């Protein structure tokens, strides 16, 4: 039985998507305009935030949000190393220095203790990542008195104590890349915040630093959410909670069938609802397990095997003494393996994944 890593499908929504795309094409309003404004309002309402500003992609969302929070050249930004490269890249591209902190390998997220060890007098912001759909402990980071930019790209819809990812910090960056829990048909992103001044500056920066196309008060970006992508996201947003619930049901089915006896699933954040962008577990020999799964048609892959602080592009941002010691990151990088996940995964496929993990195990 073939079991895909990403068990998702937009087939039943394509007729409505095609209709909405045709509407936008006929409108002649392709850059910003009413479609983007409507999505921004709907997404902000869904999250429970005051402002949503659509931008071109999730990486731009991070960079623009950091600048809107006052981060600039020479400042330091604490980021995890076990994450997608863009989390650190966004700080570097605005002239700031990413400072890498460790993660708890059980949750794959930062902790207050790992962040605290990376703080210096030059730290201007903290960027916790809600990795794989699991919530980082943003509330615990507030004690440091610094702006907190949530990297919520992989956790759209996750909640803790009635609050959604993206509303826990000072601001948040989202990605609508097609593989995300809420994805479009291309690149897209957004910055979300309750801070009026931050939202205003994000809106300014996304359009070349201009409010009126006549006067340019900042060196900004050409980074605006396409109206076509906004139309797609407006169709799919009402489906998000249902999809996330089905993802949690798949995780529960894995647990019921004993997968936790064969691998070490990530530990959900205390009091939080994981949305399982990916189902990532740890295993002592992940490459061997992946090979066994492939023999049975079960797709699996490891993520971030080379952590960001060990990537060649980050060498100039490391201390002169060399890369920091990040044992939790090293463990997470060496042992992780993503198993099939998605709202379309069937019970038979869940059983096949568990059986495949059990085959050849000792």
| Domain limit, last residue, from 191, 216, 237 | 237
Check residue 306 and give its pLDDT. Answer: 97
User: Is residue 186 in a domain?
Assistant: yes
Q: Is 180 a catalytic residue?
A: yes
Same domain? For 146 and 216 the reply is yes
Contacts 24+ apart (CB under 8 A), 311-314: 311/85, 313/85, 313/89, 314/88, 314/92, 314/98
Please tell me the distance from the alpha carbon of residue 87 to that of residue 341, in angstroms, as a whole number. 23
For residue 16, the 8-state DSSP code is: H
Q: How confident is the model at residue 323 (pLDDT cuts 50, 70, 90)?
A: confident
Same domain? For 122 and 213 the reply is yes
Contacts 24+ apart (CB under 8 A), 14-20: 16/235, 17/185, 17/231, 17/232, 17/235, 17/236, 20/231, 20/232, 20/234, 20/235
Query: Which pTM was predicted?
Result: 0.96
Whether pLDDT at 362 is above 90? no
Determine the average pLDDT of the residues in 312-333. Answer: 93
User: Is residue 331 in a domain?
Assistant: yes
Whether pLDDT at 200 is above 90? yes
User: Is residue 224 in a domain?
Assistant: yes
| Domain limit, last residue, from 218, 237, 256 | 237
Q: How confident is the model at residue 361 (pLDDT cuts 50, 70, 90)?
A: low
Same domain? For 158 and 253 the reply is no
Instruction: Check if the beta carbon of residue 68 is closer than 8 Å to that of residue 191.
Output: yes
Same domain? For 157 and 222 the reply is yes
Same domain? For 158 and 78 the reply is yes
- Which of 70, 36, 29, 33 has its CA nearest to residue 52? 36
For residue 217, the 8-state DSSP code is: -
Whether pLDDT at 211 is above 90? no
Please tell me the distance from the alpha carbon of residue 118 to that of residue 127, in angstroms, as a whole number. 12
Check residue 360 and give its pLDDT. Answer: 66
Expressed in angstroms, the distance from the first to the final Cα of the chain is: 23
Check residue 212 and give its pLDDT. Answer: 85
Q: How many domains does the chain have?
A: 2
Determine the average pLDDT of the residues in 268-282. Answer: 94
DSSP 296-336: TTB--B---SS-GGGSGGGGGGS-TT-S---HHHHHHHHHE
User: Is residue 312 in a domain?
Assistant: yes
Go through the chain and tell me how many residues it has.
362
The active-site residue, picked from 51, 124, 160, 180, is 180
Same domain? For 168 and 179 the reply is yes
User: Is residue 174 in a domain?
Assistant: yes
Determine the average pLDDT of the residues in 210-226. Answer: 93
Same domain? For 186 and 47 the reply is yes
Q: How confident is the model at residue 321 (pLDDT cuts 50, 70, 90)?
A: confident
- Which of 238, 254, 309, 244 has its CA nearest to residue 275? 244
User: Is residue 4 in a domain?
Assistant: no
Whether pLDDT at 227 is above 60? yes
User: Is residue 3 in a domain?
Assistant: no
Same domain? For 50 and 189 the reply is yes
User: Domain holding 342: CATH number?
Assistant: 3.90.1150.10
Please tell me the distance from the alpha carbon of residue 172 to that of residue 50, in angstroms, as a whole number. 12
Q: How confident is the model at residue 322 (pLDDT cuts 50, 70, 90)?
A: confident
Same domain? For 102 and 145 the reply is yes
Same domain? For 211 and 265 the reply is no
Which contiguous run of DSSP H or E holds residue 68?
helix 58-68
User: Is residue 274 in a domain?
Assistant: yes
| Domain limit, last residue, from 204, 237, 270 | 237
Same domain? For 198 and 262 the reply is no
Segments forming the whole domain that contains residue 20: 11-237
User: Domain holding 120: CATH number?
Assistant: 3.40.640.10
Same domain? For 95 and 70 the reply is yes
Using the structure block, give the residue that is written with the tokens 């997968």.
259
Q: Higher model confidence: residue 270 or residue 14?
A: 14
% of the chain exceeding 90 in pLDDT: 95
């Amino acid at each position: 039985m073939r079991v895909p890593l990403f068990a998702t499908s937009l087939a039943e929504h394509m007729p409505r998507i095609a209709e909405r795309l045709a509407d936008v094409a006929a409108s002649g309003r392709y850059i910003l305009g009413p479609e983007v404004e409507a999505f921004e309002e709907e997404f902000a309402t869904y999250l429970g935030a005051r402002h949503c500003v659509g931008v071109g992609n999730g990486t731009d969302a991070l960079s623009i949000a950091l600048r809107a929070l006052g981060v600039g050249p020479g400042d330091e930004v604490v980021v995890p190393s076990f994450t997608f490269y863009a989390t650190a890249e966004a700080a570097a591209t605005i002239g700031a220095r990413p400072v890498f902190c460790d993660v708890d390998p059980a949750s794959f997220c930062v902790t207050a203790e790992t962040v605290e060890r990376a703080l210096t007098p030059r730290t201007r912001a903290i960027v916790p990542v809600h990795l794989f759909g699991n919530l980082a402990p943003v509330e615990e980071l507030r004690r440091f008195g610094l702006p907190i930019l949530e990297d919520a790209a992989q956790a759209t819809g996750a909640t803790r104590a009635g609050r959604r990812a993206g509303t826990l910090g000072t601001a948040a960056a989202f990605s609508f890349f097609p593989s995300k829990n809420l994805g479009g048909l291309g690149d897209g992103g957004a910055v979300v915040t309750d801070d009026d001044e931050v939202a205003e500056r994000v809106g300014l920066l996304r359009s070349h630093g201009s409010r009126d196309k006549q006067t340019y008060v900042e060196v900004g970006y050409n980074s605006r959410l396409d109206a076509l992508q906004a139309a797609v996201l407006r169709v799919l947003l009402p489906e998000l909670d249902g999809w996330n619930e089905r993802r949690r049901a798949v995780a529960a089915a894995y647990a019921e069938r004993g997968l936790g006896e064969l691998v070490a699933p990530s530990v959900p954040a205390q009091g939080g609802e994981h949305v399982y962008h990916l189902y990532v577990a740890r295993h002592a020999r992940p490459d061997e397990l992946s090979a066994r799964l492939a023999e049975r048609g079960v797709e699996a892959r490891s993520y971030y095997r080379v952590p960001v602080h060990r990537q060649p592009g980050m060498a100039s941002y490391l201390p002169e003494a060399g890369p920091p010691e990040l044992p939790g990151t090293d463990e997470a990088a060496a042992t992780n393996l993503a198993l099939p996940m998605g709202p379309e995964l069937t019970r038979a496929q869940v059983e096949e994944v568990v059986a495949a993990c059990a085959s050849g195990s000792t």
